[in-house]
Chains A and B, each alone.
Chain A
Amino acid sequence: MNKNHRVPSSRSLNAVEVKSKFGAEFRRFSLDRSKPGRFDEFYGLLQHVHRIPNVELLVGYADVHGDLLPINNDDNYHKAISTANPLLRLFLQRKEEADHGTFGTDSLTRKKNTVLSAVLLRPDHNKKKPPVIISLPKDFRPVSSIIDVDILPETHRRVRLYKHGQEKPLGFYIRDGSSVRVTPQGLEKVPGIFISRLVPGGLAESTGLLAVNDEVLEVNGIEVGGKSLDQVTDMMIANSHNLIITVKPANQRNNIVRSGVGGGGGAASGSSGRSSDSSASYYGYSSHSAAASIPPHIIQNFPVGELESDEDEEDLVIEAGGEAEPIRHMASNHSMSSLPRYEPHLNLRTATTPSPDRAMERGSLEEDGTVITL
């Protein structure tokens, strides 16, 4: 993570010019590029210069491509400072008025022509449709990925579903069936487990990586052959925190073609994970077309050991009585479980906004953000 702290050497100027806009008001000031300070200091500074000490703000800036990107932690703050060219254009919004759809690619350039502040208004053609809600980067996390492409036969697909304390259901059903296997004796019909239904809006459907009639071959690396439907059901539920299903897709036309990438070995892995945002499917994202066009370079390999360790300390222990803190009621807030462990070591954030997904946030940042593509 320290890479973001580097001072860009190409910049000769040491001061960054800042133009901050809140509503109709502008403020201008400058910052030291080499010592930008922390985000919370910066945040306080903004509140100070705009004289809005008690207003919760969403801070955005225009990057070199004209995209409106958020500033809400040290990392993206430093990024914003280091890439300021030389002017850093800031757009502030009240948090309660915040429009999550504002951030993203082309969000500024599209609106260059509009008279009013580009930030506060959506383009007209978007108004007719329900807005595409795009989460803040802190909420970004992978929801699914295709893994182990280099070791699996091309006809198989190993899909990892991330169900980390999110509300969205896994959303699929399995059934018994029979599949045909090639054996030395010829073709043989053997019993198999198949996906029978995908719940609209569920995690499984939204990934686009699983489809009805796909044959389930393995669950978290364990073959399901010879196991009953109930056993496989229990295995999947037991692994639901981190479910890895190896399927033989019913539709074999969308298989990943390994075109010489395998030579690099590691080249195939780790570059990027493909993930469609979970909320996208609510608005009729055509996930199947997305699945159909998976380029070969967005594949990840996950070491199996990592899967194991993930959930090790998930159990939530509440100490009570004696000199320990007073009893906090669980109130089914199970997502708090990840809190103690995944305390970000930068310790930037005030503790008032405990995020259930902070753990994932960290993970995604470590992967240099490329996991998140929209």
Chain B
Amino acid sequence: MRAFLEVGIVLYTLVSVLGSFVKTVEHGFPHQPSALGYSPSLKLLAIGTRSGAIKLYGSPGVEFMGLHDENAAVTQVHFMPHQVELVTLLDDNSLHMWTLRGHNGLSELLEIGRFTLTGPPGVTAVLAHSSGELLLLGTEGGHVFVVEVPGFRELEERNISLDQVSSRNLEHVEALQENPVDPDQVIIGYGRGLMVIWDLEKKLAIQHIPATQQLESVCWTEDGKYILSSHSDGSYCRWMVGGQDMNEEEKSDIPYGHFPCKAISKIVQLPTEEGPPFLLFSGGMPRASYGDRHCITVIHGKTHVALDFTSRIIDFFVIRDGPQRTDPSALVVLVEEELVVIDLQTEGWPIIQTPYLVPLHSSAITCSHHVSTIPLKLWERILAAGKHQNAHYSKKPWPITGGQNLAPDPPQRDLLLTGHEDGTVRFWDASGVCLYPMYKLSTAGVFHTDADPNDNMNQGTEGEWPPFRKVGCFDPYSDDPRLGIQKIHLCKYSGYLTVAGTAGQILMLELNDEAAEQTVEAKVVDLLQGQEGFRWKGHTQLDIQEDPVMFPAGFQPFAVVQCQPPAVVTALTLHSEWKLIAFGTSHGFGLYDYQQKNSVLIKCTLNPSDQLAMEGPLSRVKSIKKSLRQSFRRIRRSRVSLRKQHLQEANARLEAELAEMELAPVQRKIEARSSDDSFTGLVRTLYFADTFLSDSSHNTPSLWAGTNGGCVFAYMLRLPSVEHRADEPVTAQLSKEIQLMHRAPVVGIVVLDGHGAPLPEPLEVAHDLARAPDMQGSHHLLVVSEEQFKVFTLPKVSAKMKLKLTAVDGSRVRRVGMAWFGSSRTEDYGESGLLVLTNQGDVHVVSLPHVKMQVQYPCIRREDVSGIASCVFTKHGQGFYLISPSEFERFSLSTRCVVEPRCLVEAPLHSGCSNQHQSQPDGASSTHRYINLEVSLMSRLSWIRTPN
């Protein structure tokens, strides 16, 4: 009965604090962007993607997202001038009208209408007319349709059909532009090159401009006097707009001429208050020598720069300010993998650091690590280190400032660390809606790598033509894959950081506010421990720079451990109070004392019969080579047989083989795991705990390690007293070995104190940030395997409780994290729970210490293996996972910690027309929202199973 009551209480409280599962915000850069739009009046940026998403960004924190029901790519985005509406064109030829509607003081992005042009011709050009009432649609057939918005009513009498313009076949409409000074005049550019200035009121053509080259884009200068056209041969022309029919181009140029050039896909000319105008165009590079470059050329007076991007250019626009809003201030370029903003008013045109849309994948993400509630001191030091690195960025503030961010200040400072393939670790401010880059750590400097640091992507030499300048940080090419970061552990109290990589390297780093020259001490650790019959066929270990290396302010390495064989580090943990790190690979694990810089313990976990682990990762490559050789032999053999006129026979055999292959069904072997399975020795998890390992009256420091083969090792650690810490050795003694009979990989080990709460992190109690663990009651050991959660008593290890997962529903644990769920109602109440992500993509919450399944939410598609693998939980019931190589989705299971965009965009005041969606900010609404949440919580109580 007592047990029943306890369980009942736990269930009730967990439900009351848990709230619900919500996906709150996407961080990073949208995958496969396909269209760009900008509203100068709203100061909002819109990006459409190939998957049909539309995302709006304003000032930091102002974000909206919409998704088209059609699974079609967004090809164009146009804001209605001076309004809160925007129009998207998809590649299925449908047009969609979106608006930002106020609701409870917050704006929401809503789709309010859709329209598909009747008849087959596809829409190729869209012009949102400045009146805000008309939409001009140029089509593949060369006709221009006029549509009234927002109702999408086709105004047939105003359509501009091809025969009103010319009798010739002019191909599709390539461009539609409005005269900046006369809204009645539009220019229609046809694919063949002809441009026609059309008067919408008089419904007649005013002027024909006969360009001869295939047209790429058209631009009307600010004063309405000139038209610029760019063409597929890399040329652009300037035409005078005049009363008389002037058929001669005023100026024509192929900027990178002589040899054949690629098309100039977009051209813009903008005047300045005083001084020469800016001319900007994308493309136009000499086809043979630089045809593969993605360039935007900016010409201003004598300055001529070809901005060289690392990925394909989607679109660009220029933000203008100054007294008359004419001076170009910033160039915003959307390329396939990032958004680059260039300050055009500062000498040298530096880049403005983007506060959002930062490419997380500038080098592929290999791991991530989240640290909650960073102490202010450390936060400021990291920020300061980051400032040193950002010296080359423009000092100008972020120019896209639309909307108001109404989200409350984040309650705490959270840090997300991402490890990358190129050996860098990036520190992101994950406290709020904007995942803001704080600091970047590079570990490559510690090692000799194949790449010479001086030869990559530097500015061109003097007098180079075109005058290239590399911009953007997306650089997916890693010099040396061994540098890749695999595990990260940061101690937020001491500022110690340890990172481990692909070639068995483990770096210990310390935060230093000054640049310093350091010699990094390396220690090679042989994890094989004399294991016989081992051949490592993988990569070699990295060579350490022996000379002192100059490290900039920030995290500076002071010790390196190199595992031998240099296999990927699979587990890593740091105890800053004891000054120890533990690391594991597929061969074993080790304990390293970073104060004395020596290794304390090495344990080989390798099973001698495990050939796969014995040979290393390259054996697979070898087998490919082998199979290639075999297939070549087979070809040769078949040639011989051909000569011998056995062709038919060979063919028949081949066909039979093929048929057999096709018929063989996908099948799975059912076999109990045995100790001889592959990679049973791979170390999956390491854990430090101060607990009762040998007897129930004395707690001692301990190290726990869990392997892929379901084995747990526990070592008792003896640490010298504080005054002798520097000279007396730390010792480790094997105390326990637990072999889980189901042999599933151990993915997590936690010790629970007498209250059933997990032990606090090192130094947490010393900093008064956590309650001291209860050392009176008996401790328990929680072992999480891929299949089960099992609680054992301590110090005598005997099974107490368990929860089976795989045996019951066939899913396996992929990620596990401890979380503290604060109640949304009372400030000081909360409970710990276990967050679990399964290979089916479901998130489970398991209560502690009773290991009872509480709730389950579908989170990630089960097919999205990389998404599941990338998931990281925070200590406060949130999580992140990659929805694309460049984007994190953030989700929350906690009612107290929800980070989501809350923002308001108001229609521009001077527009005066159609402001029916104007929203009124009211302060009361946010509390209203909370009440709603509470209500939904109450209703959720009903679906909880009664405890049995």
Binding site for B on A (CB under 8 A): 163, 169-177, 196-197, 204, 220, 222, 224, 227-241, 311-322, 327, 330, 332, 334, 337
Given contacts A241-B741, A337-B741, contact A312 B672 (CB under 8 A): no
* Cα separation A318 to B734 with both chains bound (whole Å): 10
Chain A residues with CB under 8 Å of B665's CB are: 175-177, 196
Q: Which of A230, A238, A239 has the most CB of B within 10 A?
A: A238
Q: Is B3 part of the binding interface, using a Cβ–Cβ cutoff of 8 Å?
A: no
23 contacts between A and B (CB under 8 A): A169-B672, A170-B671, A175-B667, A220-B807, A222-B809, A227-B810, A230-B668, A230-B810, A232-B810, A237-B806, A238-B742, A238-B806, A238-B810, A240-B673, A241-B672, A312-B802, A313-B799, A315-B739, A317-B738, A319-B736, A321-B735, A330-B737, A337-B739
Nearest A residue to B672 via CB reads A240
Taken together as a complex, chains A and B put the C-alpha atoms of A330 and B667 apart, in Å, by: 33
Chain B: minimal CB distance from A170 (Å): 5
- The tally of CB-CB contacts under 8 A between chains A and B is 138
B659-673: contact bitstring with A at CB < 8 Å (1 yes, 0 no)? 000000111111111
Checking B670, B741, B807, B810 against A172 with a beta-carbon cut-off of 8 angstroms, the contacting residue is B670
**Which B residues are within 8 Å of any A CB, using their own CB?**
607, 665-676, 694-695, 711, 716, 733-742, 744, 787-788, 790, 797-799, 802, 804, 806-812, 839-840, 862
> Are A318 and B807 in contact (CB-based, < 8 A)?
no
Closest 6 CB pairs of A and B: A231-B810, A314-B741, A240-B672, A238-B806, A332-B675, A233-B668
CA distance in complex: A252, B863 (Å): 37
B804 nearest CB neighbor, chain A only: A238
Contacts A174-B667, A238-B806, A241-B672; is A318 near B741 (CB within 8 Å)?
no
Min C-beta distance of A300 to chain B, whole Å? 22
Q: How far is the CA of A114 from the CA of B788 in the complex (A)?
A: 60
Q: A163-B672, A234-B810, A332-B676 are in contact. List 14 more A-B contacts (CB 8 A).
A: A177-B665, A222-B808, A230-B668, A233-B670, A235-B808, A235-B810, A237-B671, A240-B671, A240-B672, A311-B741, A315-B740, A320-B733, A321-B734, A322-B695
- Determine whether the beta carbon of B694 is less than 8 Å from that of A241: no
Say yes or no: A322 contacts B694, CB within 8 Å: yes
Nearest CB in chain B: distance from A92 CB, A? 38
B residues in contact with A315, CB < 8 Å: 738-741, 790, 799
CB distance from A107 to the nearest CB of B (A): 35
CB-CB under 8 A from A204, the residues of chain B are 670
When the two chains form the complex, which single residue of B672, B734, B738, B744 contacts A316, counting CB atoms closer than 8 Å? B738
- Which residues of the other chain, A, contact B695 by a CB distance below 8 angstroms? 322
Instruction: Provide the residues of chain A in CB contact with B676, threshold 8 Å.
Output: 332
Q: Is the CB of A234 within 8 A of B675?
A: no
**Separation in Å of the A150 CB from the closest CB of chain B?**
25
User: Are B736 and A320 in contact, CB atoms less than 8 angstroms apart?
Assistant: yes
User: B716, B790, B797: which contacts A321 (Cβ < 8 A)?
Assistant: B716
Which of B670, B790, B799 interacts with A237 by CB under 8 Å? B670
Min distance, Cβ A181 to any Cβ of chain B, angstroms:
20
CA distance A318 to B809 in the complex (A): 31
Task: Using known A-B contacts A175-B665, A222-B808, determine if residue A170 contacts B670 with beta carbons closer than 8 Å.
Answer: yes
Q: Do residues A231 and B671 form an inter-chain contact, with CB atoms below 8 A?
A: no
Rounded to whole angstroms, the CA-CA distance of A311 and B744 in the bound complex is 14
Report A-chain residues with C-beta under 8 Å of the C-beta of B711. 330
Nearest chain A CB to B783's CB is how many angstroms away? 9
Known: A231-B811, A317-B798, A327-B734. A170 touches B672 (CB 8 A): yes
| A204–B672 alpha-carbon span in the complex (Å) | 12
CB < 8 Å neighbour of B739 from A177, A238, A330 = A330
Known: A173-B667, A174-B670. A316 touches B741 (CB 8 A): yes
Which residue in chain B gives the minimum CB-CB distance to A236? B670
CA distance A197 to B670 in the complex (A): 10
Tell me, in angstroms, the Cα distance from A173 to B664 when the chains sit together: 12
Q: Is the CB of B810 within 8 A of A320?
A: no
C-alpha spacing A234/B811, complex, angstroms: 7
Asked if A334 contacts B675 (CB within 8 A), the reply is yes
- Asked if B733 and A321 make an inter-chain contact with CB atoms under 8 angstroms apart, the answer reads yes
> Given contacts A174-B668, A222-B809, A237-B673, is CB(A322)–CB(B735) below 8 Å?
yes
Q: Which of B667, B802, B808, B840 touches A197 (beta carbons < 8 Å)?
A: B667
Contacts A313-B799, A332-B607: A175 and B809 contacting too (C-beta < 8 A)? no
CA distance A82 to B606 in the complex (A): 54
Q: Give bound CA distance, A167 to B810, whole Å.
A: 25
- Give chain B nearest CB distance to A292 CB in angstroms: 24
A175 touches B666 (CB 8 A): yes
CB neighbours (8 Å) of A330 from chain B are 711, 737, 739
Is there an interface contact between A238 and B807, defined as CB atoms closer than 8 Å? Answer: yes
Kindly state the separation between the CA atoms of A87 and B807 in the bound complex, as whole angstroms: 55
